[in-house]
Amino acid sequence: RDFHYTVRAEDAQSGTITIAYTEKQAAQATIQFDASKMTCRKRASSATITPGTTVQENDQLYFEATPSAGKLVDKWSVNGVDAGYEGRRDFHYTVRAEDAQSGTITISYTEKQAAQAAIQFDASKMTCRKNSSPDSITPGTTVQENDRLEFTATPSAGKLVDKWSVNGVEKRSEER
Buried b (16+ CB within 10 A) or exposed e, 34-62: eeeebebebeeeeeebeeebebebebebe
Predicted confidence (pLDDT) at residue 8 exceeds the cutoff of 60? yes
Predicted confidence (pLDDT) at residue 176 exceeds the cutoff of 60? no
Name the pLDDT band for 85 (thresholds 50, 70, 90): confident
| Averaged pLDDT, 72-87 | 92
Q: For residue 175, what pLDDT is reported?
A: 63
For CA atoms 94, 95, 97, 100, the dihedral sign is positive
Q: Over the stretch 9-65, which tens digit does the pLDDT of each residue have?
A: 999 999 999 999 999 999 999 999 999 999 999 987 778 999 999 999 999 999 999
Q: For residue 159, what pLDDT is reported?
A: 93
Q: For residue 131, what pLDDT is reported?
A: 83
| Averaged pLDDT, 61-74 | 93
Name the pLDDT band for 169 (thresholds 50, 70, 90): very high
Name the pLDDT band for 86 (thresholds 50, 70, 90): confident
Rg (CA), the chain: 24
The answer to whether the predicted template modeling score (pTM) of the entire model surpasses 0.85 is: no
The DSSP result for the chain, as a single string, is: --------GGGSTTS---------PPPEEEEE--TTTEEEEETTT--B--TT-EEETT-EEEEEE-PPTTEEEEEEEETTEE-S-TT-SEEEEE--GGGGTTSEEEEEEEEEEPPEEE----TTTEEEEETT-SSEE-TT-EEETT--EEEEE-PPTT-----EEETTEEE-----
Give the Cα separation of 137 and 143 in Å (integer).
Answer: 10
Name the pLDDT band for 133 (thresholds 50, 70, 90): confident
